Copies of this chain bind each other. A is one copy, B any other.
């Protein structure tokens, strides 16, 4: 199917503490298909998770670094990012409640980390730590070139019964209102104009398309808007995205189309739909003489193929 679907590249998302054994197994096959990991550290950057200390331990084991301080935690993350890169990873992925970014002082973050290691962290600690770690992840991305993906605003495991019986990620996540202008302020001010950084935002809150995300993507060179995501990865959802984003951010500040399916056979249909909707959008601009056919052709290729390769620095 991988060949038949004409897939150039497939990226999984993998916990920071992953041994990447499946990726190693694929590589050992000597197969030509390009399947790579993405670095998804939510399990160790979100102090509020029940499995946080367990994940820290696993990160310690896989990196062979004793993690008893914030400083050693950072060392382990940087080391593991290199391992991911060596396995072909080109991106990181951050699922956060809120896109709040805020840099803490060395002392503050060490204190929070130590409270967490000893099982005494508060909800406020978790919020501050996540905000700080987004700043750190941007810093690391500038250093190692991994493209940073942020997708905030899902209330995870909204249905407790489903969660307790079947576990997380079973279709019971519900979107919430999300604020970007204030929350991304620190990150964009410190790193938003850095030529080595690309941050791709995926949102579940469509009211932010024209109000917050398009203006920011139009302003900060490092910021790109990911395609309509999850509940909005649909005909009307895609139309709303282009209608609300394009006049302010253009199409070249969007990241083109990548699907995030868990259903492998759905890949061709998803790309086909996206290409049709984008083509309709462009054709409508041509019909109204806003762009000409040549421009539409270039944009069409960009939306279907070139932009995503550029956004993720692929070649």
In contact, B210 and A237 (Cβ under 8 angstroms): yes
In contact, B188 and A158 (Cβ under 8 angstroms): yes
Please give me the residue from chain B that is nearest to A216 by CB atom.
B174
In contact, B247 and A236 (Cβ under 8 angstroms): yes
In contact, B158 and A193 (Cβ under 8 angstroms): no
Chain A 172-209 interface 0/1 with B at a Cβ cutoff of 8 Å (1 = within): 10111101011001001100110000000000111100
Pick from B161, B211, B231, B235: contact of A177, CB under 8 Å: B211
Contacts of A219 in B (CB 8 A): 158-159, 171-172, 174
In contact, A158 and B185 (Cβ under 8 angstroms): yes
* A61 sits at the interface (CB 8 A): no
Please give me the residue from chain B that is nearest to A234 by CB atom.
B247
In contact, B185 and A181 (Cβ under 8 angstroms): no
* Min distance, Cβ A287 to any Cβ of chain B, angstroms: 13
Contacts of A158 in B (CB 8 A): 181, 185, 188-189, 216, 219
Tell me the residues in window 205-253 of chain A with beta carbons closer than 8 Å to chain B beta carbons.
205-207, 210-212, 214-216, 219-220, 231-232, 234-237, 243-244, 246-248
Question: A207 vs B176: C-alpha distance in the bound complex, in angstroms?
Answer: 11
* Min distance, Cβ A208 to any Cβ of chain B, angstroms: 8
Could you pull out 13 A-B pairs where Cβ atoms are within 8 angstroms? A158-B181, A158-B219, A159-B188, A159-B219, A160-B189, A172-B219, A175-B211, A175-B215, A176-B181, A177-B211, A231-B247, A234-B247, A236-B247
Known: A176-B182, A177-B179. 16 other contacts (CB 8 A): A155-B185, A158-B181, A158-B185, A158-B189, A158-B216, A159-B193, A174-B212, A175-B211, A176-B179, A176-B212, A204-B211, A205-B211, A210-B231, A215-B231, A236-B244, A237-B247
